[in-house]
């Protein structure tokens, strides 16, 4: 099978959301000595562009987005260890621990953000809904995650955002992990007030913020940020 055929197969597997096939094509590409960054750029990125555009246009839906993200991750788990240190420096990579905060059972927004981030090659550890503050922290530190991403749709869950940040600070771990927040009632003002590092209004905005944070980290920037990175401010008087 030619390199083009392998990458086309990988692309199709990701679009179809079949993680076994995505992993198989990724293995074949590695065995064929296709450079890892070329596998990502030729097989995974275009596939996620297709799925992301279809979702935006209303032609694909959340299950497809989630399954495509899973398939991309299955391939990336094989590809990333093969990337050279030089290439790795130029690539955005990292781990995000994500969940809907304690007291809140809404997961649609969190699922969309997870899928979009996975599509950007980010490793996602999804803690689900109703996540206690300490679980984010314990998981992030145990897994060496660079970012904690907190989702909320309910206003009375917002104070738990602050608890995550305060607990990190009080444990002496605030310098180890960025914290970003998002969801219906979350604003850029709230993000700054609680001392979080980033806010995105929607999933695409969240991806921009995560990318910027990881690029900043690679360039030596450590948490917490003095001014949070925000994307997609709300329009009001």
Partner 1 sequence: MHNKPDILEILGRTQTGEYCTQKEWDTKRIPLTIRSILKEHDLAGACNPDEPVNTDFDLADRFYAAGYQAALELGYLCTDTERIVGVSQEELDNALKYAPAEIWVGEGKDATLLRARTPSDPYPMKAATSLGITVSEDVMPDMLYLIAREPEVDILEAGSMITVRGREVLSGTPIETLMGYEHGVMHREARRRAGREGMGAIGSISAVTEYGQFGAYGTPGGFRTSDLALILFPSEMKVDYRTLHKVVHTLNMGGIMKCDSPGMIGGMPGPAEGATVSSIACALLSYAILQNHVGGGEIYDVRYLSNVNREGLWALSVIYQALSRNTHTLCHGIANQVSGPGTENLLREIATGVSVLAASGSSLTTGPRSAGGKLTDFITPLECRFVAEVSHAASAMSIENVKGVVQALLPKYEDSIKEPDLGIPFQKAYNMDTLEPTPEWEAMYRKVKAECIELGIPLDSH
Interface residues with partner 1 (CB under 8 A) are 55-56, 58, 61-63, 66-67, 102-108, 111-112, 128-129, 154-160, 184-185, 187, 234-237
Reduced to 3 states (helix: H, G, I; strand: E, B; else coil), residue 185 is coil
Smallest distance from the beta carbon of 64 to partner 1, in angstroms? Answer: 8
Smallest distance from the beta carbon of 216 to partner 1, in angstroms? Answer: 27
Q: Which is nearer to partner 1, 114 or 211 (CB)?
A: 114
Q: Which is nearer to partner 1, 94 or 183 (CB)?
A: 183
Smallest distance from the beta carbon of 26 to partner 1, in angstroms? Answer: 21
Smallest distance from the beta carbon of 218 to partner 1, in angstroms? Answer: 32
Smallest distance from the beta carbon of 187 to partner 1, in angstroms? Answer: 7
Cα(114)–Cα(123) distance, integer angstroms: 9
Q: Which is nearer to partner 1, 1 or 62 (CB)?
A: 62
Which residues fall within 8 angstroms of residue 234, CB to CB, at 6 or more apart? 187, 188, 201
Smallest distance from the beta carbon of 112 to partner 1, in angstroms? Answer: 7
Q: Which residues of 134-167 are buried (b: 16+ CB within 10 A; e: fewer)?
A: ebbbebbbeeebbbbbbbbbeeebbebbbbbbeb
The number of angstroms, rounded, from the C-alpha of 228 to the middle of its chain's C-alpha atoms is 17
Alpha helices of 80-132 — where are they, by DSSP H?
85-90, 108-119
Smallest distance from the beta carbon of 183 to partner 1, in angstroms? Answer: 9
Q: Which is nearer to partner 1, 157 or 230 (CB)?
A: 157
Burial class (CB in 10 A: 0-12, 13-18, 19+), 234: exposed
Q: Which is nearer to partner 1, 160 or 178 (CB)?
A: 160
Reduced to 3 states (helix: H, G, I; strand: E, B; else coil), residue 151 is strand
HSE-up (13 A, CA, CB side) for residue 190: 23
Q: Which is nearer to partner 1, 95 or 187 (CB)?
A: 187
The CB density around residue 176, as the number of other CB atoms within 10 Å, is: 16
Q: Which is nearer to partner 1, 32 or 62 (CB)?
A: 62
DSSP-derived pairing of the beta strands 178-182 and 198-200: parallel
């Amino acid at each position: 099978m030619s390199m083009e055929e392998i990458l086309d197969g990988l692309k199709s597997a990701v679009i179809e959301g079949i993680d076994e096939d995505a992993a198989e094509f990724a293995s074949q590409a590695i065995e064929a000595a296709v450079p890892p960054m070329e596998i990502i750029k030729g097989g995974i990125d275009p596939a996620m562009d297709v799925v992301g555009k279809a979702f935006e246009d209303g032609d694909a839906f959340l299950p497809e987005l989630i399954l495509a993200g899973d398939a991309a991750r299955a391939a990336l788990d094989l590809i990333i260890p093969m990337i050279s240190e030089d290439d790795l420096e130029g690539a955005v990579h990292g781990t995000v621990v994500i969940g809907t905060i304690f007291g809140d059972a809404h997961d649609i927004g969190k699922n969309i953000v997870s899928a979009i981030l996975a599509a950007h090659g980010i490793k996602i550890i999804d803690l689900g809904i109703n996540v206690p503050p300490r679980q984010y922290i314990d998981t992030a530190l145990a897994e060496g995650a660079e970012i904690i991403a907190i989702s909320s749709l309910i206003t009375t869950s917002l104070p738990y955002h602050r608890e995550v940040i305060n607990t990190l600070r009080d444990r002496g771990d605030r310098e180890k992990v960025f914290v970003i927040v998002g969801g219906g009632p979350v604003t850029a003002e709230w993000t700054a007030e609680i001392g979080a590092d980033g806010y995105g209004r929607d999933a695409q905005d969240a991806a921009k913020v995560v990318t910027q944070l990881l690029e900043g980290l690679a360039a030596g920037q450590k948490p917490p940020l003095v001014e949070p990175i925000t994307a997609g401010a709300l329009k009001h008087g």
